[in-house]
Amino acid sequence: MGRSGREAVLRRLPELRKRLSLDFVVVNVDNAAHGFGITPDMARQFFEAGADVLTGGNHLFDQREIIGFLETERRLLRPANMSSSVPGKGMVEITAANGRKAVVIHLIGQLNMPMAGDSPFRLTDCLLSEYKLGENVSAVIVDFHAEMTSEKNALGRYSDGRVSAVIGTHTHIPTADERILERGTAFQTDVGMCGDYDSIIGMHKSAVERFAKGYKCGRLFPASGAAILCGALVDVDDKTGLASSIVRIKIDEASNDSTV
């Protein structure tokens, strides 16, 4: 979220990959460029820092220069359940650092979202029809960019046992419900943002005026204080492709406190 969160990820990711022996890293970059989408140069920086796949969301197309980049860079995903006429793809197969095949699927919710797509549930069935965990794919990670916690929970249950992890994004607030569902899928309703939490979900606290006055007043701009980096660490069983653990990541850039 904004420069604060972007620079925290770029600074911390190389060390995290090494210290935690990470085989595969997915970063949601929907708000990387001043809170609105991402630019091609920023995307390249994330790849250079150690991200394997980048996912977007409802703000991905706010930076117009990203359209051409989406057509050539398969590792940057837009939601798969958007119209097929939209540039880019919503799913990618990548060989992880351990040599195993990983699939990332990016979906957007339909409830209270400004860019509602086709049913993420029907599309999940379609996209997973050719993949079976532990057989022709070692891991399947789903980034579900959605507003409603109920819709995120429903997709987690719907996908349980068929994917390695369903991780929610979009609301910028990390939820304390990380767990392994009964059929073996790791789930967290929302992984939270990487950015300045002394804010209104990453925007400067002057955004309070919009709520107090009841109308849009002034431009929104990101908070620029020290970031908190939030994420999730998922361990996947090599034989089954199902999750064996999920742990919340929280690193406070100001105090250097860390939960991982």
Instruction: Quote the Cα angle for 197-181-239, to 5°.
Output: 110
Predicted structure pTM score: 0.96
pLDDT digits (tens, 9 = 90+) for 2-45: 999 999 999 999 999 999 999 999 999 999 999 999 999 999 99
* Catalytic residue list: 59
CB atoms within 10 A of CB 227: 28
The overall average pLDDT reported for the chain is: 96
CATH of domain 2-252: 3.60.21.10
For residue 103, the surrounding DSSP H or E stretch is: strand 101-108
**Band (159; pLDDT cuts 50, 70, 90):** very high
